[in-house]
A and B are shown apart, each in its own frame.
Chain A
Amino acid sequence: MTWLAITGSAVVTYLIRAFAFRVAMPAALPGRVARYLDALPAAIIAALAGPAVLVPGGTVTRGPELAAALVVVAVVAWRRNLLAGVLAGVAVVALLRLVLAA
């Protein structure tokens, strides 16, 4: 099942990349299609992150995840550095969970 997913993902990813290199596409895609494709990846990634922040484990967050998410946004917007943001987020979530559990 994992292998099917990996194989399938590899195939669709390569077909997308190879298709436009081989087949002539209209010089410019219609504006709306281009804008949709441009916005799509960030939207899907945000949709993957959203539930883990707001409803982790299926129940509404008690705060650590949301606070950490805001810290990640702030740090990354400020430093333009992915790793700094991730480390800050992990630290905040670990600290707040510790405090709330006590």
Chain B
Amino acid sequence: MLLSVVVVGIPFGIVARQSGLLPAEIVAMSVFVFAGASQFAMVQLFKDGVAWPLVVATVFLINLRHLLMAAALRPHFARASVARRLAAAYVLTDEAFAMAIGWFRRGRTELAYYATFAVALYILWNVATVIGMVLGPSIGEPRRFGVDFAITATFIAIVVLGVRRRSDAVVALAAALLASVLAYAGASVVAVVTAGAFAPLLVVFARDEAAA
């Protein structure tokens, strides 16, 4: 799990640098936003020249899932101080959530486990970002070597790794197709967020067969 952060963080640094972002901007994203999928999305949107409110809206939608995770962790932090809870929130990620919820389900209560793991992820993510950022310029002309496709491939990989049931795949395909049709029609980037936000309605109103 710790290794996977490095494996994603280095490509993030590389594609961010190759897209023309400044080192300070790239580091700021990893230090302050600290959300892998969102940061890749931001790089893509910057490349497309999207206005900042739409970038923020997209990040908001991608990270809305943390609402569920924080709500699930909250009971275990009931006796922690407000400062500790706010600090725990800063380093909440999918990976930290997965490890922590497994820990609490085994009947453990120590918050130090979450703190240690989440902070380790934070440090590794930032170190990996810097490594990728330094490597970035040495990789050569992006289009010729297919490096421009790396960010798209990363998106695809993130989606495939997240598929747990058939409906997940259906939603992802629907979102990709809808966004492509809209993009081809000239609606470009607004289309992306729209398609992404609408596709999940497919499962919301589907029958509950896969709710397990």
Which of the segments B100-108, B119-127, B200-208 contacts the partner chain?
A: B200-208
A35 near B158 with CB under 8 A, answer no
- Find A50's partner among B33, B66, B180 (CB 8 Å cutoff): B180
Complex CA gap A18/B85 in Å reads: 8
Q: Cα distance A10–B161 when bound, in Å?
A: 25
A: contact size bracket: 35 or more
Interface string of A81-100 (1 = CB under 8 A from B): 01101100111111101000
Q: Are B82 and A22 in contact (CB under 8 A)?
A: yes
Q: Whole-angstrom distance between the alpha carbons of A12 and B41 in the complex?
A: 15
Against A, the Cβ 8 Å flags (1 = close, 0 = not) of B104-145 are 000000000000000000000000000000000000000111
| B 32-87 contacts with A by CB, 8 A | 32-35, 37-38, 40-42, 44-46, 51-53, 55-56, 58-71, 73-74, 77, 82, 85-86
Q: Which of A6, A12, A18 contacts B86 (CB 8 A)?
A: A18
* Chain B interface, number of residues (Cβ within 8 angstroms): 99
Among A12, A32, A58, A92, find the residue whose CB has the most chain B CB atoms closer than 10 A: A12
Q: Report which residue of B28, B61, B200 has the largest number of chain A beta carbons within 10 angstroms of its beta carbon.
A: B200
Contact partners of A38 in chain B: CB under 8 A: 65, 68, 200
Contact A58 B38, CB 8 Å, known A17-B90, A85-B157: no
| B211 interfacial by beta-carbon distance below 8 Å | yes
For window 43-93 of A, CB contacts with B under 8 Å fall at 43-55, 58, 60, 65, 68-69, 72-73, 76-77, 80, 82-83, 85-86, 89-93
A13 to B177, CA, bound (A): 27
Once the chains bind, are B200 and A51 in contact (CB under 8 Å)? no
Q: Which residues of A contact B162 (CB under 8 A)?
A: 41-42
> Is A102 positioned at the interface, with any CB of B under 8 Å from its CB?
no
> Would you call the interface of chain A mostly helix, strand, loop, or mixed?
helix
Residues in A neighbouring B67, C-beta threshold 8 A: 16, 19-20, 25, 37
* List of B residues within 8 angstroms of A90 by Cβ: 145-147, 149-150, 153
> What is the CB-to-nearest-CB distance from B15 to chain A, in angstroms, rounded to a whole number?
10
* B interface, CB within 8 angstroms of A: 4, 7-8, 11, 21-22, 25, 28-29, 32-35, 37-38, 40-42, 44-46, 51-53, 55-56, 58-71, 73-74, 77, 82, 85-86, 88-90, 92, 143-147, 149-163, 167-168, 171-180, 183-184, 191-193, 195-197, 199-205, 208, 211
Extra A-B contacts (6), CB below 8 Å, given A12-B59, A37-B65: A5-B52, A6-B32, A18-B86, A40-B61, A51-B191, A80-B161
Interface residues of A (CB under 8 A from B): 1-10, 12-14, 16-22, 24-25, 29, 31-32, 34-55, 58, 60, 65, 68-69, 72-73, 76-77, 80, 82-83, 85-86, 89-95, 97
Closest 7 CB pairs of A and B: A50-B176, A44-B196, A94-B146, A20-B70, A89-B153, A39-B200, A8-B56
